[in-house]
Structure 1
Amino acid sequence: MTGAVTGHRPENLPVAAGLTTAAFFCVALVGALAKVSGQYTSTGVLLLFQNLICFLFIVPVVLRNGPSSLRTSKIGLHVLRAVAGTACWYALFFAIARIPLANATLLTYSAPLWMPLIAWLVTRQRVSTATWAGAVLGFAGVVLVLQPQGHSFDVGELSAFAGAILLAVAMMSVRWLGATEPITRVLFYYFLLSTVLSVPIAVLDWEPIPSQALGWLIGLGFAQLASQILIVLAYRYASAEKVGPFIYSVIVFTAVLDWIVWGQVPSATTYLGMVLVIGGGLVAVRARRAPTAPEEAPR
């Protein structure tokens, strides 16, 4: 892909990889902070705090650039990204309260397995056999994590799995937006729309916020803000498919946090599922597609 066609900076995979890894370290922190905060209040309140703090932070930045900086011809993509992203975070927070943090994160961040399928559905570019093979391998790992002891699906596991599909949609929309939209505009519309979407959810799911929860909630918001800035920057240096493998760093970060803070050690079956998901994802997102026209955003 060339800058002339897509509007991206010249590709720089090492920079994109570093930014993506840093972004998903922040995502691991979001998950850990959400698990702690969830002991004090509801999932809806977590979601509202996360988005509102980020929105309040980005507003002064946008105002310095003037109202003209918000003009966009991609409002549909902004809405798609906000709806998918908000729903994904709700699904993940819901799951974190019910199953181990590492399991919830692994299932949700199997999203790269879905990205080639979404790209194919939207752009109709042919996807290689190796990519499909990697996806199948990864899905086998997802099944192992969903049923590590052969029990029926837990609602938390199903929620995390649904979050993976939503996350894949959100990540592809970020890629398409990054082709033409400046980072401040992308973040402004995401946090604005996500905050608006979070209000009715929080009202329906409202629980009082004790004073001891405020510090954790503020930390949650700033960790989310850092992750969003870093991932948008990363997609300016490489495609979503190419930086996809580095998303799996969040699984390592989260597993370490889950072990250190909550003493959760994955079972042997879950470890095998993790290996299959990561291995399948690496194959799926790194396999070369047949030469086609450059990827374009949906119109």
Structure 2
Amino acid sequence: MISSPTENIGLGAFYAIATALVMSIAAALIKYTATLITIEIIVAVQYAICVVFMLPWLLQKGLRGVKTDKLGLHIIRALCGWACFYTYYLAIAHVPLVEAALLRNAAPLCVPFFVLIIHKVSFAWVRWIPIAIGFLGIGLILKPDGNSLNIWHLVGFGSAITLAGSIITTRMLTRTEPTNRVLFYYFALSAVASLPLALLNWQPIPAKALLPMALIGLSIWLTMWLYTQAYVYAKASIISPLSYTGVVFAGFWGWYFWDQIPDWLSFAGVVLVVGGGIGSVVLGSQADKRHALSSNLVNKQPH
């Protein structure tokens, strides 16, 4: 197999784990800041800060940098990403940090459903096995006995569904669109989408919330940059499983700052979701390799 000129699995893995760590720090900051200010304001300020970070690129490229014939897809991608963060932050404010992080990281289990609907691509039955295992884990986290299930667990799972939509549309966009253009439209459109809810839920921002809100915005921008760099140096089959280290980091912050320790059902759910998610990514990667090999063999046949 011939590697791409930029392929560096070690560096890609480093960026992937750094992405998960920074995102978990942002999640901990959000859980704290949500006790001081509304989630709607946090989301709006976050995206406003990210737009500010994109201004140097915009000033350098000018209007030609934002010219696109994929505006509709940019809007869908931005709304999916915005809804992902909004539902994730709402869940963080109301459920243990590790459970919110795990539910968001169930996105790989939802991706095949989007592929099936959007691209009309069917999968071999074996690929549904890890997905079923992962959803069994989600069921355990949602507490089938009903003792501690609340609406915020379902909201947290909504972040996985919308993240899956964001993943699919981002892949579609990056085939023809440069990374900075995708990020600019995402941040700018999400900032616009955040504004009405922020105004409806406006309250004075206390001074002690200013620093954590600034750090949240910086963390999200850095997360997106690290995430992009990870995919420059390594394939999705390497990066996606490593994203689950974020659940471990979130579990540590939840224990250290809030004394949150998962019960045995939640712990079992974490194991099943992580195992199912990694299995889904690995089987998907193997299927892609077989498809690519088959296509190469067909193309090499004399015509």
In 2 relative to 1, CA 47–162 (structure 1 residues): closer, same or farther, beyond 3 Å? same
Q: Once the 2 structures are TM-superposed, how far is the Cα of residue 151 of structure 1 from its aligned partner?
A: 2.4
Q: Which residue of 1 aligns with 2:228?
A: 232
Q: Which residue of 1 aligns with 2:159?
A: 163
Aligned residues: 290
Q: Which residue of 1 aligns with 2:57?
A: 61
Moved more, 115-124 or 264-273: 115-124
Q: Which residue of 1 aligns with 2:31?
A: 35
| SS of aligned partner of 1:147 | coil
Q: Which residue of 2 aligns with 1:256?
A: 252
Gaps of 5+ in 1: 295-299
Paired amino acid for 2:78: A
In 2 relative to 1, CA 98–195 (structure 1 residues): closer, same or farther, beyond 3 Å? same
Moved more, 40-49 or 225-234: 225-234
Q: Once the 2 structures are TM-superposed, how far is the Cα of residue 240 of structure 1 from its aligned partner?
A: 4.4
Q: Once the 2 structures are TM-superposed, how far is the Cα of residue 242 of structure 1 from its aligned partner?
A: 5.1
Paired amino acid for 1:38: A
Paired amino acid for 2:24: A
Q: Once the 2 structures are TM-superposed, how far is the Cα of residue 208 of structure 1 from its aligned partner?
A: 1.6
In 1: Cα distance, 2:120 partner to 2:9 partner: 25
In 2 relative to 1, CA 229–245 (structure 1 residues): closer, same or farther, beyond 3 Å? same
Q: Which residue of 2 aligns with 1:297?
A: none
Moved more, 110-119 or 268-277: 110-119
Deviations 1:248-289 (A, max 9, x none): 111011001111111111111111000000011111110122
| SS of aligned partner of 1:103 | helix
Paired amino acid for 2:91: A
In 1: Cα distance, 2:72 partner to 2:173 partner: 10
Aligned pairs for 1:262-273 (under 5 A) are 262-273=258-269
| SS of aligned partner of 1:117 | helix
In 2: Cα distance, 1:54 partner to 1:209 partner: 19
Q: Which residue of 2 aligns with 1:131?
A: 127
In 2: Cα distance, 1:285 partner to 1:105 partner: 18
Q: Which residue of 1 aligns with 2:298?
A: none
Query: TM-score scaled by structure 1?
Result: 0.89
Deviations 1:180-216 (A, max 9, x none): 2222211111110010000001011222210110001
Gaps of 5+ in 2: 294-303
Q: Which residue of 2 aligns with 1:208?
A: 204
Counting helix residues as a fraction of each chain, which structure ranks higher?
A: 2
C-alpha contact 1:175 1:239 (8 A) present in aligned 2: no
Paired amino acid for 1:67: L
Percent identical pairs in the alignment equals: 35
Computing the radius of gyration from Cα coordinates, the structure with the larger value is 2
In 1: Cα distance, 2:127 partner to 2:141 partner: 21
| SS of aligned partner of 1:251 | helix
Deviations 1:210-254 (A, max 9, x none): 011000100000000001112223334455465321221110110
C-alpha contact 1:115 1:241 (8 A) present in aligned 2: no
Aligned pairs for 1:1-299 (under 5 A) are 12-147=8-143, 150-151=146-147, 153-238=149-234, 240=236, 243-287=239-283, 288-289=286-287, 291-292=290-291
Moved more, 170-179 or 32-41: 170-179
Query: TM-score scaled by structure 2?
Result: 0.88
In 2: Cα distance, 1:129 partner to 1:14 partner: 33
